[in-house]
A and B are shown apart, each in its own frame.
Chain A
Amino acid sequence: MCARIFSRGFHGRRQEPEDASRLPPGQYLVRDFPVLSAGPTPRTPLERWDFSLSGEVGQPRRWTWDEFRALPSEFVTRDIHCVTRWSKLDTLWEGVSVDTLLDGVEYDAEYVVAFCDGGYTTNLPLEDVTGGKAWVAFSYNGEPLEAAHGGPARLLVPHLYFWKSAKWVRGLTLSGHDEPGFWESAGYHNRGDPWQEQRYWGD
């Protein structure tokens, strides 16, 4: 540990108190919606899109786009927090709850890996995506979700850093063991709770 040092002449920019209480440690507010991804934006036509549940499930499930869109959906307004330190308040999404997708599915698993077009993966404990905490979102701010922001559909797990809200998601693999995903294998925290500032390995 190092002794506290001060940055001569640095004053910083404090947040408004009403915003500050909603900002996890080390985050700052943005009004725009930054785009971050590790490779080219995949563009899968809706007629070839599907969403599947596989792994340690009694019976794998698969929905075409039309079947997926026929499922009951919800509007949710949530604050989102990116590990690169920006946070955005009151973002409005529409999506299908992961609880709805798992409804009637028998499984013996404690973890999921979300898999995506483009090869991206992210791992989560099942309890972080159930109980009204996660959605497969297809709309942002009342409009179809843009490809650059993960459309046609992305995972939305707003209580964790936003890399867990995998863009271009195509399904969940349920498993009895935890398997680190893309960023989780590349130095980023396995769980990513912004309120505990779990950014990197060892945080």
Chain B
Amino acid sequence: MAGTAVLGRLTWQVGRVVNSMVETPRVKSLTLELPAWGGHRAGQHVDLRLTAEDGYQAVRSYSIASPPEVGSVVVTVERLDDGEVSPYLVDELRVDDQIEVRGPIGGYFVWEISQGGPLFLVSGGSGIVPLMAMIRHRLAGGSEVPIMLLYSSRSHDDVIYGTELEALAAMEGIRVVQTYTRVQPPGWEGYSRRIDESLLGDVAPPPGERPLIYICGPTALVEGVASSMVALGHEPTRIKTERFGPTGR
């Protein structure tokens, strides 16, 4: 079972936005400088709290995109049009603004270099965020654990961390496979369908390699991929899942 992630009480602290980066038309990465960050593990998340002038507050959780090796915390946020908090974070929040933060939270969907590999990471949409923290951790920590990332996006324009993924794909020990489910770029010869069992059969490390499997994305993707991986012969106990449902994050 997972180790202990959070020691003692989690308290709110005031962070400052020190960088804001557009990832896609709907997604931004925000770098937060925190006065008392005790560190985190790749895959964990933070709670962000907004306060209106009349004292009304709203809190949502966001995955941390940055690896434990850097001192600041980067969250990558997708704007959900019917959301209460994400449109503010993506459209309104600016560099030098303050925001309340507590964390890190979650001690199960995490990966540390000491856990070894190989890693098979599967994501859809903004589900890539905690998985990117794992990849960045592997690089920043000097690990050589083989990583296979399978990433499903609606179109090329919806790909988060696109430039970084291109660079990763050229690195030793890291493979990146993408599928575009709705619109494909001209001349695209890769996958152009939702992730299914036959696609996983082509791409996933064989069960004999006993990969550690992390799946993050919308419920339908996570349910489907996790079931398929079990059907392909992978041990259920090596499969960890996390979901981003359309629940107003």
Contact = CB atoms under 8 A, between A and B. Distances in A.
B227 interface: yes
Interface size band for B: 35 or more
A166 to B, nearest CB: 15
Contact of A34 (B84, B92, B243): B243
A70 interface: no
B56 A12 contact: yes
B219 A34 contact: yes
25 contacts: A5-B14, A5-B100, A6-B51, A9-B92, A10-B58, A11-B52, A12-B56, A13-B84, A26-B57, A28-B58, A30-B248, A32-B247, A35-B219, A35-B245, A37-B241, A39-B240, A40-B241, A148-B219, A186-B1, A186-B4, A187-B105, A200-B105, A201-B8, A202-B9, A202-B10
Interface string B217-249: 001000100110110000011011111011110
Interface size band for A: 35 or more
B61 interface: yes
Given A5-B14, A10-B52, A185 B107 contact: yes
A36 B58 contact: no
Nearest to A86: B247
B52 A35 contact: no
Contacts of A125: none
B92 A10 contact: yes
A4 B99 CA distance: 10
Contact of B50 (A7, A14, A41, A85): A7
Ranked 5 nearest A-B pairs via Cβ: A202-B9, A186-B107, A187-B6, A40-B226, A34-B245
A38 B240 contact: yes
A186 B243 contact: no
A28 B219 contact: no
Contacts of B88: 7, 9-10
Contacts of B246: 32
Interface of B: 1-2, 4-14, 50-53, 55-61, 84, 88, 92-93, 97-100, 105-109, 219, 223, 226-227, 229-230, 236-237, 239-243, 245-248
Contacts of A182: 1, 108
Given A32-B247, A118-B236, A38 B84 contact: no
B56 A14 contact: yes
Given A2-B12, A28-B84, A86-B248, A38 B60 contact: no
A159 to B, nearest CB: 21
Contacts of A11: 52
Contacts of B7: 201
B10 A201 contact: yes
A12 B49 CA distance: 11
Given A186-B5, A187-B5, A40 B248 contact: no
